Amino acid sequence: MTELKTITIIKPDDWHVHVRDGKILEKVIKYTAQFYKRAIIMPNLEDPITNCVKSLAYRNRILNSIKFNSTFQPLMTCYLTPFTTSKELEYGFYKKIFVAAKLYLKSSTTNSENGIKNINDINHILQCMEDISMPLLIHGEDNDKNIDIYDRESEFIKNILEPLRKKFSKLKIILEHITTKDAVEYVKKHDEQYLSATITPHHLMLNRNDMFLKGIQPHLYCLPILKKRTHQQALRQAVSNGDKHFFLGSDTAPHLNKNKIHCFGRPGIFNAPSSLLCYITVFEELNALKHFQAFCSENGPNFYNMPINTETVTLVKKPFKILNKINIGKKKIIPFLSGKTLHWSMKT
Ligand code: DOR
Ligand code: ZN
């Protein structure tokens, strides 16, 4: 019998996850904890994580939800509101309660009602973050109602990010879950110490045609929305070159099925059960496996000035069937690629 192909890499980190709270948290956290050593936890709960006290309590709830022996570390972030104070941020950052702060423009995505209406309202906060080298994580979409949904990212770069970077050129920024050629090009132009970007598995694997294949597919609706194929190709090209500006951030975002299949269906793709296996699938397709470890396990910690993990994981070229659903009491969550088979699995 021929040996199965295997790849061993430094244990990866996921630099962008939504794990929610309560019963959903209890069910979903194990999927992130099985693949990743650390994960940046998004603060957009219904009651957002806006201060140190809430963050410490949420971190405990996350750790208490992990039922197996695990060394997983949640890395917490502060949700910026018009009422955030520099004192709170600075204290949280120095005490290692927060590793970063997250910028949502008001009403741009799930639970962003408490976000920022005008970026100039938080100049004092951005100045403080630049001074203490605290990373700013950005949901980069200009949600002005006159801007086409497919142009929100490129308009954000022009209208908001570029002026912001001119004012705060030493602020460490991560443009989260980029989806366009415009973002790839913009990020690449700048020093990777100050500007980098995360890329999701779904934006690497899919484009907007997939969202309308055989009818509208609510489980593929996320924000930023899937873009056209040329943008998908630009993202694939970006990761296949091993560029240090780009790293893994799955944006796994579970929603109950009833809230996805709804007349106001919510944005978000729950990819945690397969995210790492999706990434390796893409890197293999691109003949770029030599850059896989840097994308998963090195570029992220280097940007955040954190140590590179010492544990390893081994992936095996063996079929892996993604579960159909997870039950949350009588309700359910449908994962990304539900019921489909990937060619890679994790060695246990
Ligand atoms: O698709 C998304 N889902 N994009 C976001 O920005 C938020 C996330 C969520 O929290 O559901
Ligand atoms: Zn997100």
> What's the rounded Cα separation, in Å, for the pair 14 and 30?
13
Mean pLDDT for 211-225 is 97
Q: What is the pLDDT of residue 51?
A: 98
**15 pLDDT higher than 90:** yes
Catalytic one of 14, 142, 182, 251: 251
Binding site, annotated residues for substrate: 18-20, 44, 139, 223, 255
6 CA → ligand 2 middle, Å: 31
Q: What is the pLDDT of residue 94?
A: 98
Mean pLDDT for 314-335 is 98
> What's the rounded Cα separation, in Å, for the pair 291 and 280?
10
pLDDT digits (tens, 9 = 90+) for 293-304: 999 999 999 999
Q: Which domains does the chain have, with CATH numbers?
A: 6-346 (3.20.20.140)
Q: What is the pLDDT of residue 3?
A: 80
Residue 111 Cα: closest atom of ligand 1: 10
201 CA → ligand 1 middle, Å: 14
- Ligand 1, atom 2, lies closest to the CA of 268
List Cβ neighbours of 91 (8 Å cut-off, separation of 6 or more).
52, 97
> What's the rounded Cα separation, in Å, for the pair 55 and 221?
28
Mean pLDDT for 219-230 is 98
With cut-offs at 50, 70 and 90, classify the pLDDT of residue 4: confident
Round the CA-based radius of gyration of the chain to a whole number and report it: 19
- Active site annotation includes 191: no
Cα 203 to its chain centre, rounded Å, is 11
Binding site, annotated residues: 16, 18-20, 44, 102, 139, 177, 223, 251, 255
Contact at 8 Å (CB) between 75 and 41?
yes
With cut-offs at 50, 70 and 90, classify the pLDDT of residue 219: very high
Mean pLDDT for 170-187 is 98
Q: What is the pLDDT of residue 247?
A: 98
In percent, the amount of the chain with pLDDT more than 70 equals 100
**66 pLDDT higher than 80:** yes
pLDDT digits (tens, 9 = 90+) for 70-106: 999 999 999 999 999 999 999 999 999 999 999 999 9
Give one DSSP letter per residue of 115-155, joined into a string: SBS-GGGGHHHHHHHHHHT--EEE------TTS-GGGHHHH
Q: What's the per-residue H, E or C state across 246-311?
A: EEECCCECCCCHHHHCCCCCCCCECCCCCHHHHHHHHHHHCCCHHHHHHHHHHHHHHHHCCCCCCC
With cut-offs at 50, 70 and 90, classify the pLDDT of residue 68: confident
**Is the dihedral angle over the CA atoms 336, 339, 344, 348 positive or is it negative?**
positive
Q: What is the pLDDT of residue 232?
A: 98
Closest CA to 62 of 52, 51, 81, 75: 75
State the amino acid at position 67 in one-letter form.
K
**228 pLDDT higher than 70:** yes
pLDDT digits (tens, 9 = 90+) for 97-140: 999 999 999 999 999 999 999 999 999 999 999 999 999 999 99
With cut-offs at 50, 70 and 90, classify the pLDDT of residue 1: low
Q: Is 18 in the pocket of ligand 1 (CB under 6 A)?
A: yes
Mean pLDDT for 247-275 is 98
pLDDT digits (tens, 9 = 90+) for 252-263: 999 999 999 999
Q: Are strands 100-103 and 136-138 parallel, antiparallel or unpaired?
A: parallel
pLDDT digits (tens, 9 = 90+) for 150-176: 999 999 999 999 999 999 999 999 999
Q: What is the pLDDT of residue 280?
A: 98
> What's the rounded Cα separation, in Å, for the pair 339 and 144?
37
Q: What is the pLDDT of residue 99?
A: 98
List Cβ neighbours of 146 (8 Å cut-off, separation of 6 or more).
none
